[in-house]
Amino acid sequence: MRAHMVRRKHMKFNILKRKSEVDATFERVADHLREKKVLLPAEFEELCKDLSPDAKEEIKSKLRQLKYTHNEDMFEFTDASKPARDITDKELIELLIKPDYVNTDEDVIQVGNQFYKGIVASGFPATVGENWLGELTQEKRNVDFSIFLEPSSVRAIELYLNKQLRKVENDLYKYQQKGVSNPALKARKDQLTQQLKHILTGEYKLFKMSLHIAAKGKNKEDVTLLGSKVVNDLHSKGIETKYTTKYNEQLLKSIIPCGKRHLDSREILVPGPAAAASFPFSSSFYDIDEQDGVLLGFNSNKIPIAKSIWKLPKYVGTVIGSTGSGKSYATKALVLNDNLINGTKVFILDPEDEYTDMCQNIKDSQVIRLGRDSKKIPNILSLMGGSLSDKLISVPKVFDVLLGGLTASQKPLIERAIIATYKKKGIVETNEKSWKKTPPTLSDLAAMLKAHKKKCSDYKLKSDYETMSNKLERFTTGIFKFMNTTGDGINPKSMFNVIEFKSMPNEVRPVLMLILLEFIKTKFLEDKEKKILVLDEAWRVLKNQSEAAYVESFARTFRKSNGSLILITQSVEELQGCPEGKAYLANSAFTYIFKTEGVVVQETAELFGLNDTETEIISSAKQGEGILIWGKTHHKIQVRVDPKTHELITTNPEEVKRLRGKR
């Protein structure tokens, strides 16, 4: 289905070679005239010295036709003269599309550098499912094909089917006479009767269909091999075929997309639904959610995959792959597109400072940087405008992480201490107004733990208080005391918000992530606008059961305010020892799996239910390539964006340097 744009120079040469000597000389003469404006008799004789007098006369008459002024044997190029050579439309088209040469062999045809082997369908299956010709277009096979479909009149089909039916009945009768049964004929009879019934009741129409295919390749062996593969595949779908031996040229012409059939192959009657399903551009070939779908990438046939997370039952997504495999890039493309198309608010928790650069060129964006000295770190105990009841449910989970895991006996103790700390500040569940009061800080909680410990007489519980106090001390007076803030934190009010905390020590990153999740969840609880929260290095908060449980409950609440959570993580290796975390990732509504290396390939494949081919794809994928699981469907995907977006989101150091220079 492609015009052959072959090197023009080469073709021009070919065209000239075919010209007669007279034409060639005429062109030389005309060129001379165009350049020098006059042609003297001696010059004319010199240019035409090898030609006969007749030929010379022919050239002269041609020149006169072109309105070169002929003056005492001297030709002159004037304004009235036409250009030396008018290229006719036909010549121009030839020049543009004509291949260097065509070589018709019996089995294959060669056009320029390309070899073709023709195949036509000679029999179609009686019933076909949706996407029955999918293989031809879905697979990355080097084939061109054309489908000719023509509606046929009800009357003609009725006649045809009746005739067929009579024939089958006759045959059946013959078998019966012999006392032999023929199940195939019986089935055929039933099928014809059914079809006849459908036609007569107007349930569906039959279409005349023919299918022409050209296998393409760089040499005879290649096309022959590909041809036989195509034939086998079609056979497995119940489509019978024939090679177009000797008629390859006609077949090729039929495949040129101008709707003309040059080959009278057998036309088969197919029912309407099957005919509709054979359209390569019908919806099952395109993976597009209309209206709010955003472009995610392209499948192996370079067909766009455009999807909407807002149509999924859950909004949780996972992006997994080794360093540099394209996780952040794909996520940026997704959130930018969703922001553009659906007006989605974006929050990115960026532990490695990978997303801040792009903000410089995004309208209504902001970067919030959190470091040890920043006063903006949200106070864990702040209600952030939410209710105390909600806080009392979620904050113990944050402390579970903050204090490095709590035992069953410690959990009720901290819960009690938290309630008491709020109460001491006058904040109680029963009084909504009190929720607006200045919240306690970590120091207040630490003091409360100490007080409870003092009052406690049970030796074992005393030791529990002791342990928790010691751990909390790191965040109040110890090395992480910068987390002990009074601030109501940050204000991610833009459409596009990046919260960066690269300078934060690894130990506090998980806690900080949870605080930020909690903060955003609470702050936007009442806001029903679509929003996406991206959590890079998500493994940091999926390392144990309590973390996984927190993230899960977060996502559930966030979903209620139209929030989608995207978790980015390197591999399942970081989640060793946390089956809950893995299970949570595997349960995502959508998952990108990019290049995966080493020992985790198999585990990743098992976790996400990849087949062997898909496993091979993720282990050998290039940057931006992988498997996309969307709902229940698996796609091979290549993430691609337009050049402008690429400039915006790439972090390749060389590109960034070049782009900085350009700006």
Ligand X SMILES: Nc1ncnc2c1ncn2[C@@H]1O[C@H](COP(=O)(O)OP(=O)(O)O)[C@@H](O)[C@H]1O
- What 3-state class would DSSP assign to 195? helix
From the list 612, 613, 615, 592, the residue with the least C-alpha distance to 604 is 615
CB nearer to ligand X: give 464 or 536: 536
Looking at beta carbons only, is 564 or 569 nearer to Mg ion?
A: 569
81 vs 328 by CB, closer to ligand X: 328
309 binds ligand X (CB under 6 A): no
Told to check if 624 binds ligand X by CB under 6 A, we report: yes
Q: Choose among 419, 474, 426: nearest CA to 449.
A: 419
Contacts of 314 (CB under 8 A, 6+ apart): 555, 559, 587, 588, 589
CA 433, CA 253: separation in Å to the nearest integer? Answer: 81
List the interface residues with Mg ion, window 259-278 (CB under 5 A).
none
- Positions in 363-382 near ligand X (CB under 6 A): none
Mapping DSSP onto H, E and C, the string for 253-279 reads HHHCCCCCCCCCCCCEEEEHHHHHHCC
Query: Which of Mg ion, ligand X, none sits in contact with 639, Cβ below 5 to 8 A by type?
Result: ligand X
User: Could you tell which of Mg ion, ligand X, none binds residue 453, using a CB distance below 5 to 8 A set by kind?
Assistant: none
Residue 304 C-beta: closest distance to Mg ion, Å: 24
Residue 275, strand partner residues: none
Three-class SS state of 628: strand
Between 328 and 410, CB nearer to Mg ion: 328
The contacts found for 150-157 with CB under 8 angstroms, 24 or more apart, are 150/207, 150/208, 150/209, 150/267, 151/205, 151/207, 151/208, 152/205, 152/206, 152/207, 152/208, 152/269, 154/199, 154/200, 154/202, 154/205, 157/199, 157/205, 157/206, 157/269
**Can you name the residues that pair with 225 across neighbouring β-strands?**
none
Q: 305, 607, 639, 648: which one contacts ligand X (CB under 6 A)?
A: 639
Nearer to ligand X, 277 or 333 (CB): 333
Residue 571 contacts ligand X per CB under 6 A? no
Instruction: Report, in Å, the least distance between residue 400 CB and ligand X.
Output: 29
Nearest residue (beta carbon) to ligand X? 624
Closest approach of ligand X to the CB of residue 360, in Å:
16
Asked if 329 interacts with ligand X (CB under 6 A), we say yes
Nearest to 171, CA basis, from 183, 161, 156: 183
Q: Could you tell me if 516 and 411 are in contact, meaning their C-beta atoms sit under 8 angstroms apart?
A: no
Site for Mg ion in 306-365 (CB under 5 A): 328
Q: For residue 306, is it left (φ>0), alpha (ψ between -120 and 50) or beta?
A: beta
Q: In the complex with ligand X, which residue's Cβ is closer, 563 or 624? A: 624
Q: Which is nearer to ligand X, 313 or 661 (CB)?
A: 661
Q: Tell me: does residue 326 bind ligand X (CB under 6 A).
A: yes
Report how far residue 121's alpha carbon sits from residue 214's, in angstroms, rounded to the nearest whole number. Answer: 12
In angstroms and rounded to an integer, the radius of gyration of the C-alpha atoms of the chain is 38
Name which of 472 and 649 has its Cβ closer to ligand X.
649
Q: Judged by CB, which is closer to ligand X: 444, or 536?
A: 536
* Rounded least distance, CB 297 to Mg ion, Å: 17
Q: Are the C-beta atoms of 376 and 492 separated by less than 8 Å?
A: no
Q: Does 652 interact with ligand X (rule: CB under 6 A)? A: yes
Residues 484 and 468: their CA atoms lie apart, in Å, by 16
For the CB of residue 499, give the shortest distance to ligand X in the complex, in Å: 17
Nearest 5°: phi and psi at 193?
-60, -45
Confirm or reject binding of residue 293 to ligand X (CB under 6 A): no
Stretch near ligand X under the rule CB under 6 A, chosen from 9-17, 215-223, 323-331, 395-403 = 323-331
| Window contacting ligand X (CB under 6 A); options: 317-325, 426-434, 449-457, 546-554 | 317-325
128 or 319: whose CB is closer to ligand X? Answer: 319
Q: Determine if 650 is a binding residue for ligand X (CB under 6 A).
A: yes
- Residue 510 near ligand X by CB under 6 A: no
Q: Vertex 340, ends 337 and 346: CA angle to 5°?
A: 80
Stretch that binds ligand X, among 10-18, 51-59, 78-86, 650-658 (CB under 6 A): 650-658
Closest distance to ligand X from the beta carbon of 498 (Å): 14
Total Cβ atoms within 10 A of residue 654: 8
Q: Which residue stretch of 63-71, 80-88, 168-176, 318-326 sits at the interface with ligand X (rule: CB under 6 A)?
A: 318-326
Other residues' Cβ atoms within 10 Å of the Cβ of residue 160:
17
Interface with ligand X (CB under 6 A), residue from 327, 391, 452, 523:
327
Please identify which residue in 41, 151, 257, 324 interacts with ligand X, judged by CB under 6 A: 324
Please report whether residue 636 would count as binding ligand X according to CB under 6 A: no
Judged by CB under 5 A, how many residues of this single chain contact Mg ion? 1
* Identity of the residue, 117 or 327, whose beta carbon is nearer to ligand X in the bound complex: 327
Q: Which DSSP string corresponds to 9-34?
A: HHHHHHHHHHS-HHHHHHHHHHHHHH
Phi and psi angles of residue 229, each rounded to the nearest 5 degrees, phi first: -65, -45
Regarding 328 and contact with ligand X (CB under 6 A), the answer is yes
For residue 71, state whether it binds ligand X (rule: CB under 6 A): no
Closest to Mg ion by CB, 328 vs 596, is 328
Q: Closest separation between CB of residue 521 and Mg ion, Å?
A: 23
Binding-site partner at residue 651 among ligand X, Mg ion, none, CB < 5 to 8 Å by type: ligand X
**Residue 378 contacts which entry, Mg ion, ligand X, none (Cβ below 5-8 A, type-dependent):** none
Q: How far is the CB of 437 from Mg ion (least distance, A)?
A: 41
- Neighbouring residues of 270: CB distance < 8 A, sequence distance ≥ 6: 124, 128, 206, 207, 209, 278
Q: Which residue has the tokens 């543009």?
A: 96
Residue 300 interacts with ligand X (CB under 6 A)?
no
Q: Which does 652 bind (CB under 5 to 8 A by kind): Mg ion, ligand X, none?
A: ligand X
Min CB(574)–ligand X separation in Å: 14
Q: Is the dihedral of CA 232, 233, 237, 243 positive or negative?
A: negative
Alpha-helical (H) ranges within 343-488 are 356-359, 388-402, 410-424, 442-455, 459-476
> Tokens 């529990």 identify what position?
464
First to last CA, the chain: 41
Of 118, 227, 293, 321, which lies in the binding site for ligand X, with binding defined by CB under 6 A?
Answer: 321
CB of 643 to ligand X, least distance (A): 10
Nearer of residues 350 and 614 to Mg ion, judged by Cβ: 350
Residues that bind ligand X (CB under 6 A): 321, 323-329, 623-624, 639-640, 650-652
Residues that bind Mg ion (CB under 5 A): 328
